[in-house]
Structure 1
């Protein structure tokens, strides 16, 4: 028998793929079951509150990943702000598979999901803004400049993911990430 922790990771990865691809409303229990390799009864055993609990688990899992891989990198004062930015943007590219993956905020903010997950989505976006705001301050931006840039980062990342999906061109995301780096490093 496999260790439970590995199984949890596999289940969350499967659930994440379905919610990213189909959103909350579009994700059927069959889709979720197929993606995790669990029968519907086993899914309900693990997630007694059903699909909403599964989506909450995905949000928590991704929040943990982003905090540990993106935010901690961007806020790591042991390395220069320039290096933090480059490493943090590399982690963002990894999070979104270089533009191939949809943002979970977008996927869960459609239809009924917006009401169910509004607080988590809002908090998550505020964390993104606060982290990039602090990075801006570390790069000697004024508070106003850092605030404007931080919000713009969120807009550019999220917007580029939507546009690259719609256009079928991941280079749009790559370009947006590069432009963020250029703006922060003034190059």
Structure 2
């Protein structure tokens, strides 16, 4: 036997949809991307399910698709683009400043410590480079690494470091490797020790 139709259901449903839209409207796109970044940094692409992305942003799936009609791939690409812009501003641009080379390197190491929360934050580039969708992010990851490498090599060249490009690549490999170790072991002290070593090894006395 069919239940009697309740005319209030339509109004209840409309109010619910209205609240969901209002919740989404209260978040700027920048805020949504910041919350998505935390999920992708923790889970990578493959394990960042729509359920996890919804939970991490506090938005219903319909609201997520309102911001990102192309779905999870669009979310991840926009998160990566935003991350690259922030990294460029905080880490790479100071290396291109007019400060003394030693000061540039000190600032880079200080900013890296802050950017990765002393090693407690995973590297987004590393997380997105793993899994079954690596090709989707390869170009943007390569652009970010190349920009950092070139800026660091230019500073090391001014310090007359032998093979500055190779030294820049080696330094970046070590930083990324330390973040991966911290991710696997949970020991953030590994990252802190590496930054301390770089202060001694990279900056000439």
Q: TM-score, normalised by structure 2?
A: 0.83
Deviation at 1:16, TM superposition (A): 0.7
Structure 2 distance, partners of 1:5, 1:112, is 34
Find the counterpart in structure 1 of residue 85 from structure 2.
Answer: 64
Deviation at 1:141, TM superposition (A): 2.2
Structure 2 distance, partners of 1:8, 1:46, is 7
Structure 2 distance, partners of 1:84, 1:72, is 10
Q: CA RMSD in A?
A: 1.9
- Structure number having the greater helix percentage: 1
Deviation at 1:52, TM superposition (A): 0.6
Structure 2 distance, partners of 1:138, 1:10, is 39
Q: How does 1:88-167 map to 2 (within 5 A)?
A: 88-142=108-162, 145-167=163-185
1:13-62 CA distances to partner (integer Å, 9 max, x unpaired)?
11111111111000011111121122111111111111111111111111
Moved over 3 A (4+): none
Count of matched residue pairs: 183
Deviation at 1:133, TM superposition (A): 0.6
1:35 aligns with 2:56: yes
For residue 104 of structure 2, the aligned residue among 75, 84, 101 is: 84
Find the counterpart in structure 1 of residue 186 from structure 2.
Answer: 168
- The answer as to whether partners of 2:154 and 2:164 remain within 8 angstroms in 1 is yes
Structure 2 gap ranges (5+): 1-21
> What SS does structure 1 have at the residue aligned with 2:130?
coil
Q: TM-score, normalised by structure 1?
A: 0.91
Aligned pair in 2 of structure 1 residues 6, 186: CA closer, same or farther (>3 Å)? farther
Moved more, 110-119 or 57-66: 110-119
Find the counterpart in structure 2 of residue 53 from structure 1.
Answer: 74
Find the counterpart in structure 2 of residue 17 from structure 1.
Answer: 38
Structure 1 gap ranges (5+): none
Structure 2 distance, partners of 1:141, 1:154, is 16
Find the counterpart in structure 1 of residue 201 from structure 2.
Answer: 183
